[in-house]
Amino acid sequence: MSLLPILRVDPKDMPELAIVCGDPFRAEIISQQLEQVKELAYSREYRTFTGEYKGVRIAVVSHGVGSPGAAVCFEEMVKAGVKTIIRVGTAGSLSDRYKTGSLIISTAAVREEGLTRQLVPIAFPAVADSKVTDALYEAALEANAPGAVGKGITLTMDAFFSGVVELPHAIYRQAGVLAVEMEIAALYVVALLRGIRAGAILALDGDSTAVDEGYDPHRSIVAEAVDAEIRAALGALVKLAEQP
Ligand code: R1X
């Protein structure tokens, strides 16, 4: 078979289990935890590595920022035979309980982006796979994160900095949504429509209502939380490899 048109990877080289993250540089950092690492391609924002973690073959792929671009990546991964995807990401806090340095396992995503309604009506829920969520939560509790570990609903948006329209963060905060980011709804909808399993873990990098005043994700507490979520995601994939 020829290369995937956008990821530029030969489908036969793609394992069934994968970690995805937004940042191509973070994909490289995650790949350093693997043995027999190979960089398969670096095409646009999509960087693909494969390797083994505790004897389990996995891929690490970057999906860029935002749902439409990320969905292209997820769709091509599914076409190549990937059956389980875990997103390792960062997000802004929406709750008083979980702040910078905490880890959140996303059980479902509010579909406040524009992409997924072009795939399936908006009444369809963007939910995680429960086995993936359970494995991530268990692994996150053991990952020594600098903050608390929680699980619950997250918000997926397209807007990062605000314009002149009021963003819906306050409403979702009242409704108990824990964090906001930009790609999980796309991941869960693609996974549900294509019949694969998906989950996501997020390191909180600041207060979602303060991004316009000053967003600084480059703090040591965030780096520690990201390291912890990477350990958790790798641990969860090892468990999930035994539960196909
Ligand atoms: O999902 C969000 C987006 O990919 C989280 O971080 C990025 C924006 O800084």
**Which protein residues are within 6 Å of ligand 1, measured from CB?**
22, 65, 89-91, 160, 181-183
Mean pLDDT of 149-159: 98
**Is the pLDDT reported for residue 214 higher than 90?**
no
Closest ligand 1 atom, CA of 215? Answer: 9
Q: What is the pTM of this model?
A: 0.97
User: Which residue bears the tokens 């590595």?
Assistant: 49
Atom 4 (ligand 1): residue with closest C-alpha? 65
Closest ligand 1 atom, CA of 91? Answer: 5
The predicted-structure confidence for 100-127, as pLDDT tens digits, reads as follows: 999 999 999 999 999 999 999 999 999 9
Question: What whole-number distance in Å separates Cα of residue 61 and Cα of residue 57?
Answer: 13
Q: What is the pLDDT of residue 1?
A: 65
Whether 159 and 67 have beta carbons less than 8 Å apart is answered as no
Listed as own residue / partner, the contacts of 35-42 with beta carbons closer than 8 Å and 24 or more positions apart are 38/13, 40/9, 40/10, 40/13, 41/3, 41/7, 41/8, 41/9
Atom 7 (ligand 1): residue with closest C-alpha? 65
Ligand 1 center to residue 115 CA distance, Å?
16
205 catalytically annotated: yes
Mean pLDDT of the chain: 96
Dihedral pair phi/psi, residue 157, rounded to 5°: -120, 165
User: Could you give the dihedral angle defined by the CA atoms of residues 152, 156, 161 and 166, in that order, rounded to the nearest 10 degrees?
Assistant: -90
**Is the pLDDT reported for residue 145 higher than 80?**
yes
The predicted-structure confidence for 156-183, as pLDDT tens digits, reads as follows: 999 999 899 999 999 999 999 999 999 9
Among 67, 68, 71, 35, which Cα is nearest to 50's? 35
Q: Does residue 173 or residue 208 have the better pLDDT? A: 173
Atom 8 (ligand 1): residue with closest C-alpha? 65
**Is the pLDDT reported for residue 213 higher than 90?**
no
Residues forming a β-bridge with 102: none
Closest ligand 1 atom, CA of 156? Answer: 1
* Domains annotated on the chain, with CATH: 11-241 (3.40.50.1580)
**Is the pLDDT reported for residue 210 higher than 80?**
no
